Amino acid sequence: MTESKPAVFLDRDDTITNSHPRTAHLPRPGDLLDPDLVELLPGAGEAIAKLNRAGWPVVVFTSQGGIARGDMPPPFDRPRATLSQVELVNDRMRSLLAGVGARVDAIYYCPFHPSGTVARFTREHEWRKPRPGMLRTAAVELGLDLTKSWAVGDMPRDTEAARNAGIPADQAVLLVAGKPLSASNVNANGPTAPDLARAVEMILHRNGR
Ligand SMILES: [Mg+2]
């Protein structure tokens, strides 16, 4: 039996990619459905490359409830949000990351939402943050040790999902840059960082590199 290893779990939208400023004109800002809108946040790709070089598996876990809601990507005459639309956005992110020498080892996304319009995906699901399903599935499929893993996200539900999966609270980092102090950027018992680059510095420092 192979020994399980720790990983770094990353939220996607507004952790790796710049979502809100690019979607502010949409009915639901934040849902990145158009591959042409994908751009990396400053320093995010380089931070992931550092994790790659240090030997950490990098696993993305992202909520994509727009699939359940049937949201349309701009310019709104395109097909509705679908699994393949999300895959296109993920592919674009992967190619932008490759451009700075970075890669993610796996991407898990949750298409479910309880108030959707697409019957197949309209329900609660163990993969919906803050539930731990995506991280636990990744741990089984990729042989990861959650107790030694880290997670980084820009929403409390990201760090909550990490804790619910068994990642220690002090290894679940909430990104708070540019946000006024409020209930939405308090990380219970956990660390905060301004951006992914600083979070990765923290992870590498805490692990002696
Ligand atoms: Mg996010």
Query: Tokens representing 141?
Result: 């499929």
Q: Are 149 and 167 in contact (CB under 8 A)?
A: yes
Q: Catalytic residue positions?
A: 11, 13
Architecture of domain 8-206: 3-Layer(aba) Sandwich (3.40)
pLDDT in tens, 157-185: 999 999 999 999 999 999 997 665 555 55
Distance 3 CA to ligand 1 centre (A): 31
pLDDT digits (tens, 9 = 90+) for 88-109: 999 999 999 999 999 999 999 9
Distance 79 CA to ligand 1 centre (A): 23
Tens of pLDDT along 130-145?
999 999 999 999 999 9
Q: How far is the CA of 192 from the centre of ligand 1 (A)?
A: 14
Domain boundaries, the chain: 8-206
| DSSP category for residue 66 | H
Q: How many whole angstroms from 117 Cα to the centroid of ligand 1?
A: 22
